Amino acid sequence: MESFFLAETTKYLYLLFDDENFIHNSGSEGTVIQTANGECIIDAGGYIFNTEAHPIDVASLDCCYNPPDKQYKDS
């Protein structure tokens, strides 16, 4: 058995069952940031895991990489 299998499985289990971990944010709190694309709320819950068990905030992906809708309407 590969060593990373046990390490990543243990990490996933810890993140899933630790009630005080930031992963379990219900969306009642978050952080407002300003970017070139506008104002965004991050750290409000809704995480996905990459293949190395690192949590990725879905809101930050949308905020950091998608231009505002108004740019498409002006074209």
Q: What is the reported pLDDT for 1?
A: 72
Distance CA 74, CA 10 (A): 49
pLDDT at 67: 63
Q: Residue 15's CB: how many other CB atoms inside 10 A?
A: 16
Length of the chain in residues, anyone? 75
**pLDDT value at residue 74:** 53
- Per the model's pLDDT, the better-predicted residue between 68 and 10 turns out to be 10
pLDDT digits (tens, 9 = 90+) for 7-56: 888 888 887 888 888 877 787 888 888 877 778 888 887 888 888 778 88
Q: Is 51 helix (H, G, I), strand (E, B) or coil?
A: coil
Please enumerate, by residue number, every residue annotated as part of a binding site for Ca(2+): 51
pTM: 0.56
